[in-house]
Structure 1
Amino acid sequence: MLKKILNKETFLYLIFGIIVTLLNISLFYLFINIWKMSTGLGNILDTIICVLFQYFTNRIWVFESKNNGKEAIKEFIQFILARGLTAIIDQIFVVVGVDFFVAKYVSYSQQGIFSVGIKILSNVVVIVLNYIFSKLFVFNSKKQ
């Protein structure tokens, strides 16, 4: 059982997941705390950048997709739809967490760090869902 879970695919997903999570959190911090974007806009922008990064790393190295032509387009659309679903979950989690809870209950001087904490919690949920969606619906080797 453990050997089935700890394989090359899972290891690479974890490595690229850590990289994209760091990118996601860094961009989020940059957009809302440095560039002073709204929480919603900053979160959407960092999500778009990270989803594109994820698609290429997942396609090439994690799931080693060999789809071409129409199948590759279908795969990309399925990936975007799956990530769109988790992006909605992330957007709700982050906007509600930052704009309502952090803004209301955390002192102004601590809001930046608490906002990043909310983003990290959201990432944990999103990473698990993204793996499940990618494995079962997008890069399903039975389709190839």
Structure 2
Amino acid sequence: MMKWLKDQYTKYNEVISYLFFGVLATIVNIGIFYFFDTLLNTPYLIANGLSIIGAILFAFFTNKKYVFKSNTTSKEESFREFILFVGFRLASGVFDMLSMYILVSLLTVDTNISKILTQFIVVVVNYVFSKVFIFKQEEGEHD
């Protein structure tokens, strides 16, 4: 049983790591949103934009180091990863902003509930972007 568990962990390490750090990035995202929206009474779309920026920065460093284990050696390659990561995350951020607008302004769903709902889809979209386009690994490069 222990060998099977270890084999499964090894086989799905990247997905498990992504989910773990994805949950943390989601907590950062929702926490920043709650701070600005609820505690400081910032307009919800501004609070959402700030939370997206905070989550993008947190997610870039954790995804690069712990999830996809990118070992870029040059500043140029690291910068390329950062630009691609931010670009794709901003694309999912547009979905996040649009979803928030529809849920809050058009459907009158609570801002914090709306934020949580949008995060489920955003996490999946961001994994695909990161895996396929940003932290691509050559064949045989996995740990």
What is the CA–CA distance in structure 2 between the aligned matches of 1:121 and 1:65, rounded to whole Å? 30
C-alpha RMSD over aligned residues = 2.0
Residue of structure 2 in register with 1:54 after alignment: 59
What is the CA–CA distance in structure 2 between the aligned matches of 1:99 and 1:37, rounded to whole Å? 15
Residue of structure 1 in register with 2:132 after alignment: 136
TM-score by length of structure 2 reads: 0.85
Show the 5 A alignment for 1:1-144. 7-67=12-72, 68-102=74-108, 114-142=110-138
Contact 2:44 2:111 in 1 (8 A): no
**Greater mean alpha carbon deviation, residues 20-29 or residues 130-139:** 20-29
* Structure 1 segments unaligned to the other structure (5+ residues): 107-113
- Of all paired residues, the percent bearing the same amino acid is 33
* Structure 2 segments unaligned to the other structure (5+ residues): 1-7
What is the CA–CA distance in structure 2 between the aligned matches of 1:69 and 1:28, rounded to whole Å? 32
Which runs of structure 1 show a deviation greater than 3 angstroms over 4 or more consecutive aligned residues? none
TM-score by length of structure 1 reads: 0.84
Question: Which has the larger helix fraction?
Answer: 1
Residue of structure 2 in register with 1:109 after alignment: none
SS state of the match for residue 138, structure 2?
helix
